[in-house]
């Protein structure tokens, strides 16, 4: 369940999403591998240690207080309040480490988030070893998770972990292209001051779309990272004509950066029938999207993010990947 516009409703980010993606891969005859396990130390390459410790122990602490069900925050350190100390109170800690009330922590959250991160890391290792491309079927998604904050169904930033993994494997420059409907605020946060990872995001204009408080065109990075963050916000109703125009701007910037690899935060919630989003891409547009990404000619790691039109998610994801399977 999630708190959505003031009501507790079934979560849009459901296990069935994975089943539909796997079914589409089976229809296409594509093999799927299970990733290996990684030490938690690798998670600290992009996340703060205190944040990881909180996530790891949050639900046990909740149960130790005699509670069960969903951990949903009710208080946040907003404008004018203290962020320089983390309170002892568990509810306060919960609010400290998140930015919305729509991403409950449940008994399996840490295990699932960790497994999703392992999927992305495993796929990064495949690309680092020389593969043309790999796809990580991550659930829960990751791009809203910042260095020390969760939200938007995201707890560990799978794409950021993968990009960092490629850097740690010796690739000098890695580009992240985020095509999820929502701005990848977590990925932007993590690489904000860095010039070795370019972050480019196409998304619904945050003036009207979640996550609202980040993702505007004037956010360009800071310090050494100035100019290495590019936001391309687009209005509700954007179709392939408008989308593909912005995509060309994205690839023009990526070409100047000349990365050794590309990480794609692949949300398919840009689909016309997505229940929580406002773009108008069709299933055949996802074929075009995949072709354009593949045409960049870069070693490419695609990481699953959002996409909530469950019946169509398999065909939409497989459509993007088709260009890489030829
Ligand atoms: N229930 C991704 O696509 N919904 N996340 C906000 C609160 C959050 C989407 C309303 C949508 C997050 C990865
Ligand atoms: Zn999304």
What confidence score (pLDDT) does residue 5 get? 85
| Cα gap 129→146, rounded to integer Å | 27
Nearest to 281 by CA among 137, 181, 209: 181
Ligand 1 atom with minimal separation from the 267 CA:
3
Express each pLDDT in 181-212 by its tens digit: 999 999 999 999 999 999 999 999 999 999 99
Q: Which ligand does the CA of 102 lie closest to?
A: 1
What confidence score (pLDDT) does residue 4 get? 86
Beta strands 261-266 and 7-9: pairing type?
A: unpaired
Nearest to 259 by CA among 195, 323, 190, 215: 195
Q: What's the whole-model pTM score?
A: 0.98
Q: What is the mean pLDDT for each group of 10 consecutive residues in the chain (326 residues)?
A: 89 97 98 96 98 98 97 96 97 98 96 98 98 98 98 99 99 99 99 99 98 98 99 99 99 99 99 98 99 98 99 98 93
User: Percent helix, strand and coil across the chain, each rounded to 5?
Assistant: 40, 15, 45
For residue 182, indicate whether it is catalytic: no
Ligand 1 atom with minimal separation from the 141 CA:
13
Nearest to 260 by CA among 302, 295, 300, 231: 300
Strand partners, 230: 200
Which residues does ligand 1 sit against, CB inside 6 Å?
2-4, 100, 102, 141, 144, 152-154, 180, 182, 210, 267, 269, 276, 305-306
Q: Pick the catalytic residue: 144, 182, 183, 203? A: 144
What confidence score (pLDDT) does residue 6 get? 87
| Cα gap 227→36, rounded to integer Å | 36
ipTM of the complex: 0.96
What confidence score (pLDDT) does residue 80 get? 97
Residue nearest to atom 10 of ligand 1 (CA): 4
| Cα gap 42→285, rounded to integer Å | 36
DSSP secondary structure letter of residue 172: S
What confidence score (pLDDT) does residue 3 get? 85
| Cα gap 252→163, rounded to integer Å | 20
Residue nearest to atom 11 of ligand 1 (CA): 152
Q: Which ligand does the CA of 305 lie closest to?
A: 1
Q: Which CATH homologous superfamily contains domain 14-47+106-325?
A: Histone deacetylase domain (3.40.800.20)
Residue nearest to atom 8 of ligand 1 (CA): 152
Domain boundaries, the chain: 14-47+106-325
């Amino acid at each position: 369940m999630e708190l959505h516009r003031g009501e507790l409703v079934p979560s849009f980010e459901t296990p069935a999403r994975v089943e539909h993606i796997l079914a589409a891969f089976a229809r296409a005859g594509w093999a799927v591998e299970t990733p290996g396990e990684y030490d938690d130390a690798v998670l600290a390459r992009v996340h703060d240690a205190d944040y990881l410790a909180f996530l790891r122990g949050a639900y046990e602490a909740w149960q130790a207080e005699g509670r069960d069900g969903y951990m949903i925050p009710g208080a946040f350190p907003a404008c004018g309040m203290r962020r320089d100390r983390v309170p002892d109170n568990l509810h306060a800690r919960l609010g400290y480490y998140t930015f919305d009330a729509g991403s409950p922590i449940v008994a399996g959250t840490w295990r699932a988030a960790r497994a999703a991160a392992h999927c992305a890391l495993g796929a990064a290792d495949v690309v680092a070893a020389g593969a043309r491309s790999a796809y990580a079927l991550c659930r829960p998604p990751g791009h809203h998770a910042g260095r020390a904050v969760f939200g938007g169904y995201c707890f560990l930033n799978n794409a950021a972990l993968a990009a960092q993994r490629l850097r740690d494997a010796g690739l000098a420059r890695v580009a992240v292209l985020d095509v999820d409907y929502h701005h990848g605020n977590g990925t932007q946060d993590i690489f904000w001051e860095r010039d070795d990872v370019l972050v480019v995001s196409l998304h619904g204009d945050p003036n009207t779309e979640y996550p609202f408080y980040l993702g505007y065109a004037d956010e360009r990075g800071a310090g050494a990272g100035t100019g290495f963050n590019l936001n391309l916000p687009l209005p509700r109703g954007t179709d392939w004509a408008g989308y593909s125009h912005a995509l060309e701007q994205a690839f023009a910037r990526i070409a100047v950066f000349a990365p050794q690899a590309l990480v794609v935060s692949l949300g398919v919630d840009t689909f016309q029938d997505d229940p929580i989003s406002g773009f108008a891409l069709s299933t055949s547009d996802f074929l075009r999207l995949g072709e354009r990404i593949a045409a960049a000619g870069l070693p490419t790691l695609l990481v699953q993010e959002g996409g909530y039109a469950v019946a169509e998610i398999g065909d939409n994801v497989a459509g993007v990947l088709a260009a890489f399977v030829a």
